[in-house]
């Protein structure tokens, strides 16, 4: 093995060692902790492995951790760096990320969360992101839903009657709803403009501001005309009154908002009795004898199952890629020992084998970045 090969071999070892130490350092410092759990039906996946936890209270959470709540289970998670408090409802999955110092990103895979964030300073940042939109805040009390919606036309309100509609059409992708109780939320969403619609181009990034008492809904096929802020629905506020924080209770009163009983509906369901557009006076008589059609929003179990499968595949592919990198590093170290013993032809062959193993790991590592629910 000539000096040039040894130099690049040593350089590769140093880079891999630095990457390994950086990953270990990121995993050694917790970025959040669980302050409340209504049940132990909570799944936490860390570095591709499901944790076995006997006590969730004060459990430290690290960057990259995937947290999933079961049916009827709620969580409260405290972010250590800025004391932000998250309220997580049932059937919700998210990933904790710390892309930089003083930067926290909650990657919401599906479900519903609410965040109380104290006023941030300097270069601090706090974002909640989905595949549809990113909500960034400085000091805000806001909620973010990312759920599949099922429109239903019914003679009675299913939430009031207890009846569950069957055989409903399911949206292929979830809809993002960002709504603000206090402060201001800056939203960056991918929406279609008239130009991109005419040319059948990809959506473009568009920025919106969601002020206190308003909401923004972004669907997978949203256009700029469709995506406009509107007054916060009282049903959404009622939901968070029912599912309020345990540690810091209180949903701010909103100007002009009306509060109705939350009912006994599931935490994944919100109902509204707003009449459909175009009923007019002609239907006034019939509406007196029967309630207007209802729109029911449900967490879709089929979509949730697809999300879990995608997360498992993403984790498995990342583990394979990381394992190949480790194997290549081992082969390179062995090549150095062989070269030190004077067996240069074997050392050269081992070095080439290590390079081939590194190359083989790249599709897995890159692929894991693009496997998303």
pLDDT value at residue 168: 38
Ordered per-residue pLDDT tens for the chain, 373 residues: 455 555 555 556 555 555 554 554 445 689 999 999 999 999 999 988 999 888 899 999 999 999 999 999 999 999 998 889 999 999 999 999 987 777 899 999 999 999 999 878 778 889 999 988 999 987 899 999 998 765 544 334 444 434 334 443 444 568 899 999 999 999 998 887 776 666 667 778 889 999 999 999 998 777 877 788 999 999 999 999 999 998 776 666 554 444 444 344 443 333 333 333 333 333 333 334 333 333 333 444 555 555 666 666 777 787 888 888 889 888 888 888 888 888 888 888 888 898 999 888 888 888 777 676 5
**Cα(78)–Cα(58) distance, integer angstroms:** 9
Angle between helices 344-370 and 301-340 (to 10 degrees): 160
pLDDT value at residue 121: 76
**Cα(41)–Cα(72) distance, integer angstroms:** 9
pLDDT value at residue 336: 87
DSSP secondary structure string, 80-146? TTT--EEEE-SS-EEEEEEEETTEEEEEEEEEEEEEEEPPP-TT-EEEEE-SSEEEEESSEEEEEEE
pLDDT value at residue 227: 85
**271: nearest Cα among 288, 292, 285:** 292
Angle at 43 between CA 103 and CA 306, to 5 degrees: 90
Continuous H helices in the chain: 3-28, 158-161, 194-198, 234-242, 284-289, 301-340, 344-370
Contact assessment for residue 368 and residue 317, using Cβ atoms and an 8 Å cutoff: yes
DSSP secondary structure string, 302-320? HHHHHHHHHHHHHHHHHHH
Angle at 72 between CA 58 and CA 297, to 5 degrees: 125
């Amino acid at each position: 093995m000539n000096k040039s090969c040894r130099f690049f071999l040593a350089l590769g070892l140093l880079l891999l060692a630095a990457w390994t130490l950086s990953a270990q350092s990121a995993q050694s410092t917790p970025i959040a902790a669980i302050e409340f759990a209504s049940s132990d039906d909570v799944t936490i996946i860390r570095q591709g492995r499901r944790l076995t936890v006997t006590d969730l209270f004060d459990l430290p959470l690290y960057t990259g951790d995937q947290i999933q709540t079961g049916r009827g289970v709620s969580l409260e998670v405290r972010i250590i760096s800025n004391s932000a408090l998250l309220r997580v409802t049932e059937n919700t999955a998210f990933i904790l990320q710390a892309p930089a110092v003083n930067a926290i990103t909650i990657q919401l895979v599906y479900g519903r969360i609410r965040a109380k964030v104290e006023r941030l300073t300097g270069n601090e940042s706090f974002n909640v992101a989905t595949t549809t939109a990113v909500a960034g805040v400085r000091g805000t009390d806001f909620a973010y839903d990312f759920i599949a919606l099922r429109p239903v036309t019914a003679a009675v309100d299913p939430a009031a009657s207890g009846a569950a509609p069957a055989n409903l059409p399911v949206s292929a992708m979830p809809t993002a709803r960002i709504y603000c109780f206090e402060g201001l939320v800056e939203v960056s969403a991918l929406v279609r403009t008239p130009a991109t619609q005419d040319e059948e181009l990809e959506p473009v990034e568009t920025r919106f501001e969601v002020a206190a008492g308003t909401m923004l809904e972004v669907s997978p096929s949203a256009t700029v005309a469709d995506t406009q802020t509107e007054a916060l629905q009282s049903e959404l506020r009622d939901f968070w009154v029912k599912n309020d924080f345990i540690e810091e209770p209180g949903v701010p009163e909103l100007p002009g908002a009306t509060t109705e009983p939350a009912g006994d509906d599931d935490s994944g369901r919100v109902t509204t009795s707003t009449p459909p557009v175009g009923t007019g006076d002609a239907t006034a008589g019939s509406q007196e004898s029967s309630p207007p059609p209802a729109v029911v929003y449900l967490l879709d179990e089929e979509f949730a199952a697809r999300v879990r499968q995608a997360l498992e595949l993403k984790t498995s592919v990342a583990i394979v890629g990381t394992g190949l990198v480790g194997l290549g590093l081992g082969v390179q170290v062995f090549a150095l020992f062989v070269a030190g013993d004077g067996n240069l032809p074997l050392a050269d062959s081992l070095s080439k084998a290590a390079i081939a193993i590194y190359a083989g790991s790249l599709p897995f590592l890159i692929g894991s970045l693009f496997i998303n629910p």
